[in-house]
Chain A
Amino acid sequence: MNIASKSAQYLVAFSVVLALNFFLPRFMPGDPLAYITADPSADMPVVMSEEARQELENYYGLDRPLVEQFGEYVHNLVRGDLGWSIYFNAPVSDVLMGHLKWTLLLVGTSAAIYVALGVALGVISAWKRNSKTDTTLLVSILSLGSWPPFFLAMLLIILFSAKLGILPMSGAETPWANHSGVLARPLDIGRHLVLPATALVLTHLAGVYLLTRNSVLGVLGENYILAARAKGISERDVMLRHVLRNALLPIVTMVALTLGFLVMGAIFVETVFAYPGMARLLYDATVIRDYPLIQGSLLVLTVLVVAANFGADMLYSRLDPRVRRQ
């Protein structure tokens, strides 16, 4: 497949997603004004007459034909302008950037840890299959992974913040801190990262671990492994060079596919730790029907997922010579 047609494919997919991002939120019942005037959780309603409503709709351009609004959205997007968040009363790009950096930190760190840990433990389990180690790992990881993330998060808070008081309870860094020294701030951010990242790692570990274990077990039964062993290659080398390389393929696919979901899957953990990430933002934006913010968040997610897929593509060709040769 040549590059031109591949690019064209990406472009078509991207345009479709862009249009969906724009039209879907607008086809949901309700509109952004329901929340900027008042929802039941607000302590003060802003009761509006129909004229006042129309005035506001006009101010935000919500009364214009959808196609016209879409045209303007695309026009602004091309110039790098993501629009203005109706509820947060700030540029969408500012709101997004503020949350995206924390999500990337949290999800990136956790993903790196649980992939590495999951693969390592999965290999050990498969290697020592049916041994005591294998059973212990299998039972403990599966039971940890079956706990709902918010419950796990609450447990961590109660244990490490409330009882032991060694780690902060919420947020991404200490506010109003006058950090002395270069390392103080990164250390502070790291301390805030420990519990939410642990919660994410524990809930996602099981998936990677199980897949690795199964995949490695599958490869172990292949004839070429028998051949490798017959050649007298050490068990360690068989495992790392022959088994793992082949077993990694489905894992790479899975990690790449789930990365987009992982960003959204962090929502419970973000909520419990009051961590200022993207998942919570997109959820709130959807609930309050903040169209420009929904579009912006979904766009960022789209880009992330496409990038992850691209990354997986690249990695695949490195891991699997057959893909490279095509």
Chain B
Amino acid sequence: MREVVRAIVVGFILAGLLAACACAGGEEAKTETIIVAGDDWGYPSPFAFYPRGPGYIRMSWIFDTLTWKDETGTIPWLADRWSSSQDGKEWTFELHKGVKWQDGEPLTADDVKFTFDYFKANLAGLRWFAALEDVDRVEVKSDHEVAIYLADPVASLLDEIAGNVPIIPEHIWKDVEDPTKFTASETVVGTGPFKLAEYDKEEGIYIYDANEEFFKGEPLVGRLVSTRVSDPALALKTDTVDAAFFWGKEIDAVKELEEDKKFATITGPSFWVLQVIFNCQKSPTAQADFRKAVAYAIDREEIVEKVTHGGAIVANPGIIHPDTDWYNPNVTAYAYGPAKASELLDSLDFIDRDKDGIRETPEGDKLSFVLLTTAEFTREAEIINDNLAAVGISVTVKALDWSTIDGIVREGDFHLAISGHGGIASPGILESPGWPSMTYKNEEYDALYREQSQTIDVTERLELVKQLQAMVADDLPVFAVYHPLIWCVFNPDKLDAWFYTKNGVATGIPTEANKLVFIER
């Protein structure tokens, strides 16, 4: 009898505990805090974030744009629908109804017009929104309709302008004269899913609270924190953060974390390219065949394997990232071919006449160059050094800091440099393929670039963008070496919605922290 009573009592207690747990669990789902690894990327106002992808992303959690992107591409956002005129110079956007600013005021078509006027008048401080230079004017058509008029058609309008410019409230900004120096708390009133609760520049910490009035419904995450950590892998293991992001050479840390059942991982494209930059105006790098010889001589597979440990893919010589809609898979591939490189060099009459292992030009100058690089790419440079030595080109690796290299390369005082840049999800990056070097001049290429930038028809434009890539691969103002991979390692028990955005967020930002991850879809 006693046992029965005890069993019943224990049963009741257990049931009570379970109920308490379930209850607490239920409440937790609503108020859960998600902490992601980050850094200081500037005050998240549209005019104060540092001009970097993560800075834009931290601003975009508060501010919305007319369109946005998910894993399939462009989607309606503040605008439900849009249409363009035949010539592509007039775009009409129909705004979602009932959207409210975080201070309770309603969003109107006037705010949208004000935003574009205001950004156009304040371009100098922040070049992120330079595409606005093409906007002629914006007109309010009705309470919920605005029209954007362009001087020339802008093919990338939905990404670079509608999907990039954060709409700001007129009632707050109308009297602000220098927006970069305006950092009062009302600077960060947007329409987005999160409100800024705290920002600490020194500690690199952002704290956001869910915006319960968000027009797409209350966010899944009650509190979102982005914090600087010194070692992301360690921070994950100690539960300091719920998600951390890794890049290229950090693959070893990712592999180790993947062995831990507690974590899940997704892999994505960095939209970044490491490249050898050639000076197209200085002999002998001015000769396309010489540049091709260098390209054939470089073993990119070896670099990917030995330097990045497989944390990258061999690059598209046409620069644009293979994971985007704009990729041309049929450009000259430059498979590793030292024999082919030697052949090209021989045909240029660059021959090792004095048998010292280094070829000379017909004028007798040795093929001996300085290869500029920043400290982070010296291992890549060393392999390139060996590769080129094997075909009779002597290279001295010189590591400098980026500001110095940028200066030298822009002045055109170099032969070879190794550097990298992002932004290769969008055809816009093809405007100056040798960037930051300005030594590549090709009028035919420039005309083609202009044509695609004004071609509204997507299929036609894709054809032109593919031609541009083929030209870059043939002319080689730069030789693309590799595209790093990126990873998001996260605790799926906390949040399991992570994904990579098709063609990147806004202008092509590679990120796991698209705000869609944190809201119910």
Chain A positions near chain B (C-beta within 8 angstroms): 28-31, 34-48, 52, 55-56, 58-59, 84, 87-90, 95, 98-99, 102, 157-158, 161-162, 165, 169-173, 175-176, 271-274, 276, 287-289
A95 with B124, Cβ < 8 A, contacts A84-B181, A287-B402 known: no
Say how far B381's CB is from chain A's closest CB, in angstroms: 13
Inter-subunit contact B272/A43 (CB<8 Å): yes
Q: Is there contact, CB below 8 Å, between A170 and B228?
A: yes
Give the contacts of B1-48 with A (CB-CB under 8 A).
33, 42-43, 48
Known contacts A35-B403, A56-B124, A84-B181: does B231 contact A40 (CB below 8 Å)?
no
Nearest CB in chain B to that of A161: its residue: B238
Cβ contact of A43, chosen from B123, B198, B207, B270, cutoff 8 A: B270
Known contacts A169-B230, A175-B207; is-contact A44 B435 (Cβ 8 Å)? no
Chain B residue contacts of A42, Cβ below 8 A: 51-53, 421-422
Q: Which of B180, B227, B436 contacts A89 (CB 8 A)?
A: B180
Please indicate which of the listed interface residues A98, A165, A172, A274 has the most CB atoms of chain B within 10 Å of its own CB: A274
Determine if B362 is an interface residue (Cβ-Cβ < 8 Å). Answer: no
Interface stretch of the complex, out of B63-71, B309-317, B447-455, B506-514: B506-514
Which residues of chain A have C-beta atoms less than 8 A from B377's C-beta? 40
Chain B residue at minimum C-beta to C-beta distance from A168: B240
**Are B225 and A175 in contact, with the CB atoms below 8 A?**
yes
The 5 closest A-B pairs by CB, nearest first: A30-B403, A276-B202, A34-B406, A43-B53, A274-B230
Question: How far is B238's CA from A84's CA once the two chains are assembled, in angstroms?
Answer: 38
The SS class assigned to the A binding surface is: loop
- Among A44, A59, A95, A157, point to the contact of B422 (Cβ < 8 A): A44
- CB-nearest residue of chain A relative to B271? A43
Contact of B402 with A175 in the complex, beta carbons under 8 Å: no
Which of B124, B181, B403, B408 lies in contact with A287, CB distance below 8 A?
Answer: B403
Which chain A residue has the least Cβ–Cβ distance from B377? Answer: A40
A175 → chain B closest CB, angstroms:
4
Complex contacts, B337 vs chain A, CB 8 Å: none
CB-CB contacts of B176-190 with A at 8 A, as 1s and 0s?
000011010000000
Interface assignment of B235: CB less than 8 Å from any CB of chain A: yes
Contact status B376-A40, CB under 8 Å:
yes
Are B201 and A90 interface neighbours, CB within 8 A? Answer: yes
Q: Which residues of B contact A58 (CB under 8 A)?
A: 124
Q: Is B200 an interface residue (CB 8 A)?
A: yes
The answer on a CB contact under 8 Å between A171 and B42 is no
* Chain B contact patch, size range: 35 or more
Question: Which B residues are in CB contact (< 8 Å) with A165?
Answer: 238
Q: How long is the Cα–Cα vector from A38 to B423 in the complex, in angstroms?
A: 10
Tell me whether A171 and B435 are in contact in the complex, defined as CB-CB below 8 angstroms, given that A30-B407, A274-B204 are known contacts.
Answer: no
Whether B429 contacts A102 by the Cβ 8 Å rule is: no
Question: Which residues of B lie under 8 Å from residue A158 when comparing CB positions?
Answer: 234
- What are 22 pairs between A and B in contact, CB < 8 Å? A29-B403, A30-B402, A30-B406, A36-B50, A38-B421, A40-B376, A40-B377, A42-B51, A43-B271, A43-B511, A44-B53, A44-B56, A46-B51, A55-B123, A55-B124, A56-B124, A87-B50, A162-B238, A169-B230, A171-B203, A271-B230, A274-B230
| Any A CB within 8 A of the CB of B432 | yes
Say how far A189's CB is from chain B's closest CB, in angstroms. Answer: 12
Cα A88 to Cα B404 in complex, Å, equals 20
Q: Across the interface, do A30 and B404 meet the contact criterion of CB distance under 8 Å?
A: yes
With A30-B403, A59-B125, A175-B227 known, 17 other A-B pairs at CB within 8 A are: A30-B406, A34-B436, A39-B402, A40-B402, A40-B420, A42-B53, A47-B428, A47-B432, A169-B235, A169-B238, A170-B235, A171-B227, A175-B225, A176-B198, A274-B204, A274-B229, A276-B204
* Distance A56 CA – B126 CA, assembled complex (angstroms): 9
The answer to whether residues A161 and B435 also contact, given A34-B407, A176-B225 and a CB cut-off of 8 A, is: no
Whether A47 and B435, one on each chain, are in contact in the complex, defined by CB atoms closer than 8 angstroms, is yes
A89 with B204, Cβ < 8 A, contacts A171-B227, A289-B403 known: no
Out of A40, A48, A169, name the residue touching B234 (CB < 8 Å): A169
Instruction: State the Cβ distance, A63 to closest chain B Cβ, in Å.
Output: 13
Nearest CB on B from A56, distance (A):
6
Residues of chain B contacted by A40 (CB below 8 angstroms):
274, 374, 376-377, 402, 419-421
A276 CB contacts on chain B under 8 angstroms: 202-204
CB distance from A170 to the nearest CB of B (A): 4
- Residue among B197, B240, B377 facing the most chain A CB atoms (10 A cut-off): B240
Alpha-carbon distance between A48 and B228 when the two chains are bound, in angstroms: 30
Knowing A89-B42, A170-B228, say if A44 contacts B407 (CB, 8 Å).
Answer: no
A164 and B234 alpha carbons, distance in the complex (Å): 13
Across-interface contacts of B127 in A (CB, < 8 A): 36-37, 46, 48, 52, 56
Q: Is the CB of A29 within 8 A of B202?
A: no
Interface residues of B in 213-251 (CB under 8 A from A): 223, 225, 227-231, 234-235, 237-238, 240
Q: Cα distance A99–B128 when bound, in Å? A: 28
A57 → B minimal CB distance (Å): 10
Most buried by A among B202, B205, B404, B511: B202
A288 to chain B: closest residue by CB: B403
Most buried by B among A52, A58, A170, A273: A170
* Closest residue of B by beta carbon distance from A286: B401
> Which of these, A44, A99, A272, contacts B230 with CB under 8 Å?
A272
Q: Smallest CB-CB separation from A59: which chain B residue?
A: B124
Chain B residues within 8 Å of A90, by CB: 43, 48, 183, 201
Interface assignment of B212: CB less than 8 Å from any CB of chain A: no
**Residues in B whose Cβ lies below 8 Å from that of A31:** 403, 407
